[in-house]
Structure 1
Amino acid sequence: MSGSVPSSAIAENSAGLRTEPDRRPLWLRIAGRRLLAPVILLALALAMIVPGVFQVPPLDRDEPRFAQATKQMVESGDYVDIRFQDEPRHKKPVGIYWLQSAAVAASGKGADAPIWVYRLPSQVGAVLAVILTYWAARAFLPPSAALLAGLFTALAIILGVEARLAKTDAVLLACIVASQGALARLWLKAQEINLPRGRPWPILFLFWTSLSASILIKGPVGLMVVGLTIAALSAATRKLGWIRTLAPLPGILYLLLLVSPWFVAIWIATDGQFFQEAVGKDFVGKLATGQESHGAPPLTHLAAMLGTFWPLPGFLLLAFTQLKGRLMSPPVLFALCWALPSWVVFELVATKLPHYTLPILPALAILAAALVGAETRRPAGKALRWAASVLYFVPAAVLAAAAIAAPVHLGIWPSPPGAVIALLSLVFSLAAVRYLLRDKPLAATGPAILASLLIAAGTWGFTMPSLSPIWISPRLAETVRQTAGCTDPEVATAGFSEPSYVFLQGTGTLLSTAEGAATFLAEAAPADCRVAVIDMRQEPRFKEEASAAGLGLREAARVQGLNINGGRKLDIGVYLKEGTGRD
């Protein structure tokens, strides 16, 4: 897409925020070319997010809830209402479920598709977010600086996590960055900064379409981020007239045309209950109270971003030294108007989760990219250089140590490739620290990229899949399959009701009590193939009820491990009616 400011104009239009050619490392001079940079970003994004996507089982609890709801859409053919088993799931709009359903259909595997198929929209969304960050930055910056912005986004830990989860946030980020990249061009056009005259309909189409898509993905979040950016730009420049460039009246009508059909359909299908749950309880509840034990005080997000946005914070700290005299330059002003208002809102909201601040990651990446290679740089003081180095190295060291400490804590041997790769990443992390201590952030980007690639490959490709004690649901589903004596057993579970188990075992899995599970087995006809899955804490009551009903039990197997939600040790028995199943 066109509309970026030519590289030759950066010096006069961005207050000297052009990366000096002789300051750039060789790799950046080669990769930072207009046609090559997006290809480099595509390759890097895939290298960062693909490891582990096929091997890591469903991660409780949000991911399997989304995936299971999509699975039931595919099974039932109802693509309007959203349900988890028999319960309505009226929390988010339908967009992500449609995308996951499309991925399932394209895979040809049907509703029983493995979890990686449901993750494909998140994978695509993450890659698009990286490429679109580059495109958004190109509204202000030359290709090499825009490449850095895309790199900082691609390397961030939080994007790597969300790219591997079958939920909304990676796709939402892509929608927001597309809207913001279009908004940047429309804002610059209103300032008449080296952009062609005339109404840019392709950019307007992208702006309103991506904003509409964000609403269908996660309700008002995208609208809030974009709206606050518009408000902040207007306040900072003391101009409102530029908003006419957005074509607000036809744009809003077009947005309503795109989003209203499903909202009307879900109103009719649920008699308005979707809005009562999604807005009245879920959205408003998160604003007012810390839902699901996720409440935290203000500034929690700021502290969390030091880890979740890694490796960006260390570079961003050194970039702040270059802010003086550049606050009103277009890239800096736009990035700050994008990041700061939304960050304040996120801090004020009672419910706090690490991924909430993901929409401001590209803004901070653009800000850092614009400043670390500033043409006239102010040297950073020793204390600041050490602080930046600590911000960079501590998360890297923690991640490397976790590759060894986490398996040991679980009582298993560390994955040898995972441990070796983690230790190797420390070598490149230390190389990056060496450059940061010398106030050479551009030189530090090379080893930082290599360290991030190694951490992603080691953590997701080897360490995470090897943590068998926490992957209870897949081991339990496989145990049931092996012991049931049939291909499609009916299963009741008491004391273990993780969404990942429902997704893996099947939609018909009965989440019950000890009494209900005993009755479930006792009422089985001779031709039925039934299995009861009973947590150790429920077993005495289960056996008591079975004895009272005259039910003979056979304990076919046991599955033990650690529940990652709460850290509770689990010991689960797999029971069949005496005389049934496979010995």
Structure 2
Amino acid sequence: MSEVSLSARHATASEGAGRLPLWLRILGVRLLAPAALAILSIVMFVPGVFQVPPLDRDEPRFAQASKQMAETGDFVDIRFQDEARHKKPAGIYWLQAAAVEASGFGDEAPIWVYRLPSQIAAVLSVLLVYWAARAFVSPQAAFVAGVFAAITIILGVEARIAKTDATLLATILAAQGALARLWLNGRAARRWGWIFIFWTALGVSVLVKGPVGPMVAGLTIASLCVVRREVAWLKALAPLPGIAWFALVVAPWFVAIHLATDGAFFNEAVGKDFVGKIGAGQESHGAPPLTHLAAMFATFWPLPAFLILAIGAIRRRLSSDVVLFTLAWVLPSWVVFELVATKLPHYTLPLLPALSILTAAALVEGSRREAGRISRWAAAAVYFVPAFGLAAANFAVPVALGLWPSPPGAVLAIIGFVAAFAATRQFAAGRALYALAPAVGASALIFAGTWAFTMPTLDPLWISPRLAAAVKDSAPCPDPLVASAGFNEPSYVFLQGTDTLLTDAAGAANHLAGETNERCRIAVVERRREAGFLKALSAEGISAEEVGRVSGININGGDRLDIGVYRRGSEQDG
């Protein structure tokens, strides 16, 4: 059965295109929709990528490990300086190292180069939402689903961060889009193209972030079997050759890392990281069940407002293929994420596309009964409150840090808020599809103002780039060896260099005392450790000259830091 006929099965004949907004009737046609989604994605994801410094702590950890891969040529073992980084497979590091090699920057590649895989994966994810939706719905509904994904906060954040989650999303979407077609195809002749996409995407997802992709796909498959009380369709997946191909995709690196680390990778990645996240909240990220559900109203914004207005149409179509498949995609995996002790906002990102498709199908192709007053005002409130908070943050955060708001950021936030207010009025009237255009404008303007203008001007938060600049300006040679006592953020290692020594006061003093003519040395010491540092230096009979000072607020924890930059002075008289 062709994709066109699959979509036609689920189209509602009574819903003519004339009921849709004009812009949707124009852009939602089959030839224009993917191009429009690609352009929208670029508009939504690019602002800020070049301007915002490395965001501690996960992003620079990934970027630094990828930098070391490119530096050493070791594409099996993963390291942050001398420390083994055995928490995730190597897939994202390969992509980032490839971006560095292709950029021509080499060791000097800025952080935006490492963000390119996430950028590309996020744009691809939006297009894959459209493709996955087309298995069930019309081009207009699939286009709306793609728009929902493109304008959400969480995907916009992950698109701008050099780590795994945007890439993982693209692999899961490829697998789920193929799975949808195989499920709908049922017992018909095997479609080897879809089978290949499904098993390959699952294999790549494992190389990017371990078991998350197979978990989502596996729970979807199990739920579909239970709901329809049928397992015969599983033959469409070609399980035996599929699993063999999946193993062929993932096994080479896993064998290589096992041999390279004598099994230490699996002890760390599975025994500590994976099991630890299930049983206890790692790194202070523990939270009770239903935390993800509560967080969704912020992380998935503005989608929840549209979902509220779509609930009635969803309930009236519970037996339809699109509802069954998307709920099988969302519900069991969401339960797992809620039960896992460690909770971070991006964990539920793989479920965002299913909610986008479900909501779009209900709004575009479902029955158009008017939503009740409670639903309409709830949708308006769920949309308006985060919009106000995001726009206001462009003023409140700079003022809280003692700064003037960025003029371009403030202007874009104000215009974006006006668009958000227009969208809120449409939500209050129950006109979800007519709220979408101003909601897109509001998201694009507010996100651009925040990422491209407001965030880069928050100098007190960007200690690492200012400290690296202070070292460069004050060092007596172009490539100093640097020791840091009291400030050990990964972003500083990434910006300062792989050989940056993270140590204590005594270690910084020993580092400065060991200066040779071959390469000069600098010590950066946080104020609370300066007394110990100077005392240890004095015991060596050496003085230190303060040549710079950087102060600010550590974005992790909010501690106020005051860091001195020191180079070696003269030997003291005995």
TM-score for both structures, normalised by structure 1: 0.96
Match among 162, 166, 189 for residue 166 of structure 1: 162
CA separation of 1:251/1:304 partners in 2, compared to 1, >3 Å: closer, same or farther?
A: same
**Are 1:4 and 2:3 an aligned pair?**
yes
1:300 alignment counterpart: 291
Once the 2 structures are TM-superposed, how far is the Cα of residue 519 of structure 1 from its aligned partner?
Answer: 1.0
Once the 2 structures are TM-superposed, how far is the Cα of residue 15 of structure 1 from its aligned partner?
Answer: 7.2
Mapped contact 2:314–2:366 kept (Cα < 8 A):
no
Alignment of 1:276-355 (within 5 A): 276-355=267-346
**Are 1:371 and 2:362 an aligned pair?**
yes
Mapped contact 1:5–1:140 kept (Cα < 8 A):
no
**Are 1:253 and 2:244 an aligned pair?**
yes
Mapped contact 2:206–2:212 kept (Cα < 8 A):
yes
Mapped contact 2:117–2:167 kept (Cα < 8 A):
yes
Once the 2 structures are TM-superposed, how far is the Cα of residue 378 of structure 1 from its aligned partner?
Answer: 2.4
Mapped contact 1:493–1:512 kept (Cα < 8 A):
yes
TM-score for both structures, normalised by structure 2: 0.98
1:33 alignment counterpart: 29
Match among 428, 443, 446 for residue 437 of structure 1: 428
Once the 2 structures are TM-superposed, how far is the Cα of residue 324 of structure 1 from its aligned partner?
Answer: 2.8
Which is further off, 15-24 or 292-301?
Answer: 15-24
In structure 2, C-alpha distance between the alignment counterparts of 1:555 and 1:218, rounded to whole Å: 44
CA RMSD of the aligned region, Å? 1.4
Letter of the 2:79 counterpart: R
Once the 2 structures are TM-superposed, how far is the Cα of residue 435 of structure 1 from its aligned partner?
Answer: 0.9
SS in 2 for 1:423: helix
**Are 1:20 and 2:11 an aligned pair?**
no
Once the 2 structures are TM-superposed, how far is the Cα of residue 198 of structure 1 from its aligned partner?
Answer: 2.4
**Are 1:265 and 2:261 an aligned pair?**
no
In structure 1, C-alpha distance between the alignment counterparts of 2:496 and 2:367, rounded to whole Å: 61
Once the 2 structures are TM-superposed, how far is the Cα of residue 90 of structure 1 from its aligned partner?
Answer: 0.1
Give per-residue Cα distances to partners, 1:181-239, cap 9 Å, x unaligned.
00000000007xxxxx5221111111111111000000000000010000111111111
Following TM superposition, the consecutive aligned residue runs of length 4 or more in structure 1 with deviations greater than 4 angstroms are none
In structure 1, C-alpha distance between the alignment counterparts of 2:220 and 2:228, rounded to whole Å: 12
In structure 1, C-alpha distance between the alignment counterparts of 2:209 and 2:136, rounded to whole Å: 29
Alignment of 1:425-504 (within 5 A): 425-504=416-495
**Are 1:525 and 2:521 an aligned pair?**
no
2:379 alignment counterpart: 388
SS in 2 for 1:5: helix
Give per-residue Cα distances to partners, 1:452-484, cap 9 Å, x unaligned.
110121111101111111011001001101100
In structure 1, C-alpha distance between the alignment counterparts of 2:467 and 2:15, rounded to whole Å: 55
Once the 2 structures are TM-superposed, how far is the Cα of residue 321 of structure 1 from its aligned partner?
Answer: 1.4
In structure 1, C-alpha distance between the alignment counterparts of 2:450 and 2:385, rounded to whole Å: 16
In structure 2, C-alpha distance between the alignment counterparts of 1:221 and 1:381, rounded to whole Å: 38
CA separation of 1:375/1:522 partners in 2, compared to 1, >3 Å: closer, same or farther?
A: closer
Mapped contact 2:11–2:138 kept (Cα < 8 A):
no
Match among 490, 494, 506 for residue 515 of structure 1: 506
In structure 2, C-alpha distance between the alignment counterparts of 1:443 and 1:43, rounded to whole Å: 21
In structure 2, C-alpha distance between the alignment counterparts of 1:411 and 1:454, rounded to whole Å: 24
Give per-residue Cα distances to partners, 1:235-267, cap 9 Å, x unaligned.
111111111100011000000011100000000
Once the 2 structures are TM-superposed, how far is the Cα of residue 19 of structure 1 from its aligned partner?
Answer: 5.2
In structure 2, C-alpha distance between the alignment counterparts of 1:34 and 1:448, rounded to whole Å: 23
Once the 2 structures are TM-superposed, how far is the Cα of residue 546 of structure 1 from its aligned partner?
Answer: 1.1
In structure 1, C-alpha distance between the alignment counterparts of 2:22 and 2:63, rounded to whole Å: 44
2:174 alignment counterpart: 178
2:71 alignment counterpart: 75
1:210 alignment counterpart: 201
Q: How many residue pairs are counted as aligned between the two chains? A: 571
Mapped contact 2:526–2:561 kept (Cα < 8 A):
yes
**Are 1:97 and 2:88 an aligned pair?**
no
1:194 alignment counterpart: none
User: Identity of aligned pairs, percent?
Assistant: 63
1:420 alignment counterpart: 411
Letter of the 2:313 counterpart: Q
Mapped contact 1:15–1:326 kept (Cα < 8 A):
no
Alignment of 1:40-119 (within 5 A): 40-119=36-115
In structure 2, C-alpha distance between the alignment counterparts of 1:527 and 1:112, rounded to whole Å: 22
**Are 1:229 and 2:220 an aligned pair?**
yes
Once the 2 structures are TM-superposed, how far is the Cα of residue 383 of structure 1 from its aligned partner?
Answer: 1.0
CA separation of 1:454/1:6 partners in 2, compared to 1, >3 Å: closer, same or farther?
A: farther
Structure 1, unmatched stretches of 5+, are 192-196
**Are 1:407 and 2:398 an aligned pair?**
yes
Mapped contact 1:294–1:352 kept (Cα < 8 A):
yes
Letter of the 1:36 counterpart: L
